[in-house]
């Protein structure tokens, strides 16, 4: 096996997740947009923790900052911390049921959002609205499907 085994497909799924994050949707749906990047990156880190970890998280976070026009470094910081937690506990997360995993993903999505909020709060005088946290729910609900789809992709192309 070459070390670049499936790297292209792996990065493609990440790019797709980034695209879904910046894709415009109607206003009412916008606050329910799942945290696509966290879902996809989280899956890969859980499945292949020796390959995909903080390096990927940091680079993806930086791209996200650029795409969203956020101050650089904010999403990299949040994603690095969240991905660290996933990689440290990947054995535990792998061995529990999908719905329990969804709960953990929801918790991590909340952590991600709160780190971003806190970091931006240091820079600007912003305030949080309950709308900001609604997407945690949709992130939780969509996790099982993302998990199954990405597992299929991983097995199909034997990415390891």
Partner 1 sequence: MKPIFATSTSLQLRLFFAVIASFSLIIFDSKFDSFSNVRLYLNTAVSPLIYAADIPSEMLKGVSNTVVTRRDLKKQVKEQKDKLFVQQVQLLEFKHLKEENNRLRALLNSPVHSDQRKLVAEIITVNSDPFSLQVVINKGSLDGIYIGQPVLNEQGVVGQIVDVSTTYSRILLISDITHGIPVRVQRNDIRAIANGSGELNSLNLPYMPHSTDIQVGDVLVTSGLGGVFPEGYPVATITEFTYQIGQPYAQVEAKPVVALERIRYVLLVWDDEESKSTTDTNKEAVL
Interface with partner 1 by CB under 8 A: which residues?
A: 15, 18-19, 21-25, 30, 33, 50, 53-55, 57-58, 61-63, 66-74, 76-77, 80-81, 84, 87-88, 117, 119-120, 123-127, 132
Q: Where are the strands (E) in the chain, listed by range?
A: none
Q: Which of 106, 115, 123 is nearest to 76 (CA)?
A: 115
Question: In angstroms, what is the minimal distance from the CB of 125 to partner 1?
Answer: 6
The two three-digit tokens of residue 112, written as one number: 């991600």
Alpha carbons 146 and 139: distance in angstroms, whole number: 10
User: Quick one: CA dihedral 132, 136, 149, 81, positive or negative?
Assistant: positive
Question: In angstroms, what is the minimal distance from the CB of 63 to partner 1?
Answer: 6
Question: In angstroms, what is the minimal distance from the CB of 102 to partner 1?
Answer: 23
Q: Which is nearer to partner 1, 72 or 103 (CB)?
A: 72
Question: In angstroms, what is the minimal distance from the CB of 92 to partner 1?
Answer: 14
Q: Which is nearer to partner 1, 111 or 144 (CB)?
A: 111
Q: Which is nearer to partner 1, 36 or 147 (CB)?
A: 36
Round the CA-based radius of gyration of the chain to a whole number and report it.
15
Q: Which residues contact 77 (CB under 8 A, 6 or more apart)?
A: 61, 115, 119
Q: Which is nearer to partner 1, 3 or 97 (CB)?
A: 3
């Amino acid at each position: 096996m070459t070390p670049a085994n499936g790297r292209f497909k792996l990065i493609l799924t990440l790019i797709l997740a980034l695209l879904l994050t910046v894709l415009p949707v109607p206003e009412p749906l916008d606050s329910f947009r799942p945290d696509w990047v966290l879902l996809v990156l989280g899956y890969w880190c859980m499945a292949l923790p020796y390959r995909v970890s903080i390096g990927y998280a940091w680079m993806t976070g930086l791209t996200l900052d650029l795409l969203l026009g956020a101050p650089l470094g904010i999403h990299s910081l949040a994603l690095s911390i969240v991905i660290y937690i996933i990689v440290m506990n990947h054995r535990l997360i792998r061995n529990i049921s999908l719905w329990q995993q969804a709960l953990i993903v929801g918790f991590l999505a909340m952590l991600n959002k709160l780190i971003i909020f806190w970091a931006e709060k240091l820079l600007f005088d912003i305030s949080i609205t309950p709308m900001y946290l609604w997407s945690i729910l949709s992130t939780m609900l969509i996790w099982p499907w993302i998990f199954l789809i990405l597992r299929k992709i991983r097995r199909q192309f034997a990415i390891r």
